[in-house]
């Protein structure tokens, strides 16, 4: 699996990490200006990554929130599909945060995989259900996750795994390119544009999707703390960022560049955007059911 160097920049970065073939996907950007890889299908040999992470005994926490109706509607398919595709071969611990611990479905898990349920309150505004995840994630990393896992990945629950979501996605600090914006001009990005909000930004690198972010425990805790502080400061100032926690996450990754990006193949929404660059769908957005679930 020899990397193909396309130019000087690529050659330099390949020397840093010869497990990635940056030339394998000429139609898309496979490296950022700060030399973080952007992982697309075809750039990596899955077995090499798995071997490396099995050897170094990487362990992965997956956090997911299923509060209110989202528990019945999404959690079962999410976990069942993760059992087929998420980090197979590694030690995986699911952390399910819910207001109805007794209703979490019992799902048979593979070897070296376990699930912990953590009770949380149900905030009355859905924006708070989403935003307050940052506080809970930070606290859980501190008390539960860091002693057991090297990496932590935080997921929206309204999605379903469809293909390998493997160790190639592990990195120190990992961000996801939003399916709706990976190929659109920067001025279309839906960053927060209100100077009164802590999430305000004029420009950025990419538009990241808050449905998946991850990395080493310390880095994810830093991200969660930063976003939560911004969210609370906004509350004091009576403002709310345009896309809630996602706006703060975009601000964080602008100031603290992620070390690895994953392509929209890792979180695709069929029909939302041009599919030509999507060689494999690893995860899809589940239907939103706006009428039933978003009644406020
Ligand atoms: C959210 C919106 C409207 C009504 C209910 C909820 C809700 C969300 C809920 O009742 N229960 C619940 O557990 N949640 C959790 O919050 C769940 O894990 C869900 O996946 C997550 C984010 O809400 P979601 O998926 O409905 O919002 P999206 O798909 O529009 O998410 C993007 O934007 C959000 C901020 O508005 C977040 O940044 C999210 O990470 C983004 O993907
Ligand atoms: Mn979602």
Selecting among 41, 83, 240, 246, the annotated active-site residue is: 246
Coil, helix or strand for 47?
helix
Concatenate the DSSP letters of all residues of 172-235 into one string. SEEEEB-TTTTTS-GGG---B--TTSTTB-S--S--B-TTEEEEEHHHHHHHHHHHHHHHHHHH
Q: Is 245 in the pocket of ligand 1 (CB under 6 A)?
A: yes
CA of 211 to the centre of ligand 1 (A): 8
Place of tokens 């160097």: 5
Is 246 catalytic? The answer is: yes
pLDDT digits (tens, 9 = 90+) for 210-233: 999 999 999 999 999 999 999 999
Specify the pTM.
0.94
pLDDT digits (tens, 9 = 90+) for 159-195: 999 999 999 999 999 999 999 999 999 999 999 999 9
């Amino acid at each position: 699996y020899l990397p193909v160097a396309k130019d000087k920049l690529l050659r330099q970065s390949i020397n840093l990490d010869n497990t990635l073939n940056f030339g394998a996907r000429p139609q898309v950007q496979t490296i950022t200006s700060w030399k973080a890889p952007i992982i697309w299908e075809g750039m990596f040999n899955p077995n090499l990554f798995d071997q490396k992470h099995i050897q170094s005994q990487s362990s992965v926490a997956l956090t997911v929130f299923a509060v209110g109706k989202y528990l019945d509607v999404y959690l079962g398919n999410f976990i069942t599909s993760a059992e087929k595709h998420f980090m197979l071969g590694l030690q995986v611990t699911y952390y399910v945060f819910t207001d109805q611990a007794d209703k979490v479905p019992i799902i048979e898990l593979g070897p070296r995989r376990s699930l912990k349920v953590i009770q949380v309150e149900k905030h009355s505004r859905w924006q708070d259900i989403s935003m307050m995840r940052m506080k809970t994630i930070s606290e859980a990393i501190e008390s539960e996750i860091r002693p057991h896992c090297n990496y932590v990945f935080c997921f929206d629950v309204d999605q379903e795994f469809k293909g390998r979501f493997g160790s190639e996605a592990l990195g120190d600090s990992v961000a996801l390119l939003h399916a709706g914006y990976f190929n659109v001009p920067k001025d279309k990005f839906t960053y927060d544009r209100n100077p009164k909000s802590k999430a305000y930004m004029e420009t950025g690198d990419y538009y990241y999707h808050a449905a998946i972010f991850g990395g080493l425990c310390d880095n994810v805790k830093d991200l969660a703390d930063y976003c939560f502080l911004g969210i609370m400061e906004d509350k004091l100032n009576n403002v709310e960022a345009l896309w809630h926690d996602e706006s703060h996450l975009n601000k964080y990754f602008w100031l603290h560049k992620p070390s690895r990006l994953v392509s929209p193949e890792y979180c695709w929404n069929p029909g939302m955007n041009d599919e030509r660059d999507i060689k494999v769908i690893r995860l899809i957005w589940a239907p939103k059911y706006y009428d039933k679930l978003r009644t406020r």
